């Protein structure tokens, strides 16, 4: 293992288009915070970097919707997010933002240095342009009729009605969101990062030199690298973002994925004059904490940028987590299926550590995991209250009862105490090993083991009985119990910072560092401790019910909104309608199209002729069960090649509420070629 002099730890920049929820915390910020708190306790030189990602199209859309400037939007969410992190004790050295001047300068000069080296490819392509507003339109700025489900108001990149991903040139009747005008195609120039050129060294660096990365991360990278990389545009036509520092690039900004990771560097710059040693010295260990959606950016694209720039180090590890579900369903911002941090803070005041504990204990380290309120309650009541809180309380209460709150002078040590010392030694090194290998769930279990040992110690030795027969022995027992509490102060500083502080105050304990864990004299005889106070309180069913009801309500709201029927489209004339030549036809043959999940190749008798039509219905109909079926076919639609097969027409389908497709068939057998009007 290579030894490092210092650490640069970054966390994915949350997108400032909404508040943050437990998924963010569990996947990225809690693990990163544990890692960093641990390093600090070991007196390592570390910078812990976070910040808001404030550019990109969705923010401009929110701004437009609300009729305010994008800066207004990001100011709002940046503050909410920053506040949530602070209140949860995520101990960033700096929480910055990409709308800062220093970031704009850093990102622009990063681009410039790659540009000057000739790293980019320039390409001209045609994109939609709004004449009235005199600007190019991102996919998200174009709406139109979805070519798949016919819903209006589909975005240029995705139809929210049927969920299919689109590209803006597919939309029927595209309209500019900004002016309402029909956009025109116009040439525009962009700069591309030729990732394909870096394939060789990326393969060597990841696949050969970083086999120790988590399997999910390594596998995902291998998948991308094996598939082959392609040049990727680093610029966009937009006026919200980092302006290009080159001439003839009016109204062009850096693509948000290019500027966001540079935000880590800008924030470090903002934090420290000597920032360069955290980014350019090979004795620095760079670690990116992210969610699995970000793997390709942090393992392939950002490293490519850093390496080609020339002066930067590459990440040593990218411990990406999977996703956290909520009560069995995917967390979704747009469907409001989430536990928002700012709401939790209000509804569970002073219980930050409970959530930190639950999210760490059940973190999606190796696969998606599920947050349930029942589990939250159980872990609080059965683990934090019953094991940790209870042990500390027992030790404190007994000390007050027998010794008026002063540590007794221990007498002889027995085999039991010797074994406890050995266990603590073992636990400490296990926590170290687990944290250093990003196994925070295991490390947290190790930590709880201290209190389990304590509870067993008390149950086995029964000081409340011995006090009558062997008071000298009790002194040793209580002394050792309190030392275990003191050890908990140090260990919990990593996982449960608020509780750690509270316990430290209860014990009247001074400064400590990580290695003190092995000392069994952190508290000296005669040392006075404060009155016992509970570290955690039981969470009753009522509180949990309340949360479940809240989610139930959200579910009902969503169902209601999903049941809304698309509004009627704009009026057309009879002439418009009769342009479509729709006929009754019979399916003669049907087979699956190879290497396509959704496609069936059909031979239909339209009455006019027999023709081949490729249709995206394979998920809903098996080829053998539809032969002989009569359907409606739009026969004068311009033919188009699909997967290499010429498709002449379109089978009309009804899209049901769940997105499934159903044939429109005549009620009785009807002559093929019959006109539908």
Partner RNA sequence: GGCGAGAUAGCUCAGUCGGUUAGAGCGCAUGAUUCAUAAUCAUGAGGUCGGCGGUUCAACCCCGCCUCUCGCUACCA
Question: In the range 251-310, which residues lie near RNA by CB under 7 A?
Answer: 292-293
Among 201, 425, 464, 577, binds RNA (CB under 7 A): 464
Could you tell me which stretch among 115-123, 176-184, 419-427, 644-652 binds RNA (CB under 7 A)? 644-652
**Tokens, residue 170:** 């597919």
The DSSP secondary-structure symbol of 382 reads I
CB of 539 to RNA, least distance (A): 9
643 near RNA, rule: CB under 7 A: yes
370 near RNA, rule: CB under 7 A: yes
Find out whether 252 and 235 touch, Cβ atoms under 8 Å. yes
Residues 484-523 as x/- pattern, contact with RNA by CB under 7 A: ----------------------------------------
Closest CA to 447 of 413, 497, 410, 512: 497
Distance CA 487, CA 520 (A): 8
613 near RNA, rule: CB under 7 A: yes
460 near RNA, rule: CB under 7 A: yes
CB of 423 to RNA, least distance (A): 12
Q: How far is CA 163 from CA 149, 154, 413, in A?
A: 9, 9, 68
- For RNA, the closer of residues 314 and 642 by Cβ is 642
Q: How far is CA 545 from CA 358, 384, 552, in A?
A: 18, 20, 10
- For RNA, the closer of residues 66 and 591 by Cβ is 591
Q: Could you give phi then psi for residue 442, rounded to 5 degrees?
A: -65, -45
CB of 269 to RNA, least distance (A): 32
- For RNA, the closer of residues 265 and 631 by Cβ is 631
How close are the terminal C-alpha atoms of the chain, in Å? Answer: 76
Among 62, 145, 168, 455, binds RNA (CB under 7 A): 455
- For RNA, the closer of residues 132 and 397 by Cβ is 397
Residues 165-184 as x/- pattern, contact with RNA by CB under 7 A: x----x--------------
Distance CA 279, CA 275 (A): 7
Distance CA 361, CA 442 (A): 8
Could you tell me which stretch among 75-83, 163-171, 484-492, 624-632 binds RNA (CB under 7 A)? 163-171
CB of 162 to RNA, least distance (A): 8
3-state helix, strand, coil in the chain (%, to 5): 45, 20, 35
631 near RNA, rule: CB under 7 A: no
42 near RNA, rule: CB under 7 A: no
Spatial neighbors of 674 by CB under 8 A, at least 6 apart, are: 583, 584, 607, 666
596 near RNA, rule: CB under 7 A: yes
**Tokens, residue 355:** 């959530």
Among 79, 109, 382, 418, binds RNA (CB under 7 A): 382
CA dihedral 574, 578, 580, 581 (to 10 degrees): 160
Distance CA 323, CA 370 (A): 9
408 near RNA, rule: CB under 7 A: no
642 near RNA, rule: CB under 7 A: yes
Among 143, 301, 359, 385, binds RNA (CB under 7 A): 385
In the region spanning residues 313 to 332, those forming contacts with RNA, defined by CB under 7 A, are: 323, 330
Closest CA to 277 of 32, 47, 2: 47
Q: Give the count of beta carbons closer than 10 Å to the beta carbon of residue 501.
A: 15
569 near RNA, rule: CB under 7 A: no
- For RNA, the closer of residues 362 and 630 by Cβ is 362
Among 160, 196, 209, 368, binds RNA (CB under 7 A): 368
CB of 283 to RNA, least distance (A): 28
**Tokens, residue 240:** 């919200």
Among 116, 134, 208, 215, binds RNA (CB under 7 A): 215
Among 203, 232, 342, 401, binds RNA (CB under 7 A): 401
Distance CA 442, CA 436 (A): 11
The DSSP secondary-structure symbol of 34 reads H
CB of 673 to RNA, least distance (A): 18
101 near RNA, rule: CB under 7 A: no
In the region spanning residues 429 to 448, those forming contacts with RNA, defined by CB under 7 A, are: 441-442, 445
Find out whether 396 and 407 touch, Cβ atoms under 8 Å. no
Distance CA 431, CA 113 (A): 43
CB of 36 to RNA, least distance (A): 23
222 near RNA, rule: CB under 7 A: yes
15 near RNA, rule: CB under 7 A: no
Distance CA 652, CA 633 (A): 6
């Amino acid at each position: 293992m290579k030894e490092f002099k210092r650490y640069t730890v970054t966390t994915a920049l949350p997108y400032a288009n909404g508040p943050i929820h437990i998924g963010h915390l569990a996947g990225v910020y809690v693990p990163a915070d544990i890692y960093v708190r641990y390093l600090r306790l070991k007196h390592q030189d570390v910078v812990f970097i976070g910040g808001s990602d404030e550019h990109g199209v969705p923010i401009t859309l929110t701004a437009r919707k609300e009729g305010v400037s994008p800066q207004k939007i990001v100011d709002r969410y940046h503050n909410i997010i920053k506040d949530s992190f602070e209140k949860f004790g995520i101990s960033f050295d700096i929480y910055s933002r990409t709308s800062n001047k220093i970031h704009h300068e850093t990102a622009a000069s990063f681009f410039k240095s790659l540009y000057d080296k000739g790293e980019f490819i320039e390409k001209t392509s045609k994109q939609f342009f709004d004449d009235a507003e005199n600007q190019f339109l991102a996919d998200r700025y174009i709406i139109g009729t979805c070519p798949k489900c016919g819903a209006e108001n589909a975005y240029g990149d995705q139809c929210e009605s049927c969920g299919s991903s689109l590209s803006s040139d597919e939309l029927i009747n595209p309209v500019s969101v900004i002016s309402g005008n029909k956009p025109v195609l116009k040439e525009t120039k962009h700069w591309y990062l030729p990732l394909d050129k870096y394939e060789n060294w990326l393969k060597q660096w990841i696949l050969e030199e970083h086999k120790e990365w988590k399997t999910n991360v390594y596998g995902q990278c291998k998948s991308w690298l094996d598939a082959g990389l392609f040049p990727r545009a680093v610029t966009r036509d937009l006026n919200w973002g980092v302006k290009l520092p080159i001439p003839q690039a009016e109204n062009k900004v850096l693509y948000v994925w290019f500027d966001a990771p540079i935000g880590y560097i800008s924030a470090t710059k903002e934090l420290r004059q000597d920032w360069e040693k955290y980014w350019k010295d090979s004795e620095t260990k760079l670690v990116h904490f992210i969610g699995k959606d970000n793997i390709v950016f942090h393992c392939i694209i950002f490293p490519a940028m850093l390496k080609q720039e020339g002066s930067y180090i590459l990440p040593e590890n990218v411990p990406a987590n999977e996703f956290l579900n909520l009560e069995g369903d995917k967390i979704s911002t747009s469907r409001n299926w989430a536990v928002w941090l700012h709401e939790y803070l209000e509804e569970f005041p002073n219980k930050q550590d409970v959530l930190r504990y639950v999210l760490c204990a059940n973190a999606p380290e190796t696969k998606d995991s599920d947050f349930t309120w029942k589990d939250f309650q159980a872990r609080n009541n059965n683990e934090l209250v019953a094991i940790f809180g209870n042990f500390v309380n027992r030790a404190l209460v007994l000390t007050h009862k027998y010794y008026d709150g002063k540590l007794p002078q221990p007498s002889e040590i027995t085999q039991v105490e010797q074994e406890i010392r050995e266990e603590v030694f073992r636990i400490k090194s296990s926590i170290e090993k687990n944290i250093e290998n990003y196994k925070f769930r295991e490390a947290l279990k190790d930590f709880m083991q201290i209190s389990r040992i304590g509870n067993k110690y008390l149950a086995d030795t029964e000081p409340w009985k011995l006090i009558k027969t062997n008071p000298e022995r009790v002194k040793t027992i209580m002394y050792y119990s309190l030392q275990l509490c003191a050890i908990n102060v140090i260990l919990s500083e990593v996982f449960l910072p608020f509780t750690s502080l509270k316990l430290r105050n209860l014990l009247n304990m001074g400064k400590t560092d990580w290695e003190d864990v092995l000392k069994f004299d952190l508290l000296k005889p005669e040392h006075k401790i404060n009155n016992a106070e509970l570290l955690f309180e039981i969470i009753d069913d009522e509180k949990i019910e309340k949360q479940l009801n809240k989610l139930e309500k959200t579910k009902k709201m969503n169902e209601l909104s999903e049941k809304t029927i698309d509004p009627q489209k704009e009026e057309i004339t009879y002439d418009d309608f009769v342009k479509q030549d729709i006929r009754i036809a019979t399916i003669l043959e049907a087979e699956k199209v190879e290497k396509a999940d959704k496609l069936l190749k059909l031979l239909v008798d339209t009455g006019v002729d027999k023709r081949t039509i490729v249709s995206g219905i394979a998920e809903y109909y098996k080829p053998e069960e539809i032969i002989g079926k009569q359907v409606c076919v739009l026969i004068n639609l311009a033919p188009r090649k699909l997967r290499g097969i010429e498709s002449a027409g379109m089978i009309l389908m009804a899209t049901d509420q769940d997105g499934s497709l159903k044939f429109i068939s005549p009620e009785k057998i009807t002559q093929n070629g019959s006109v539908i009007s």
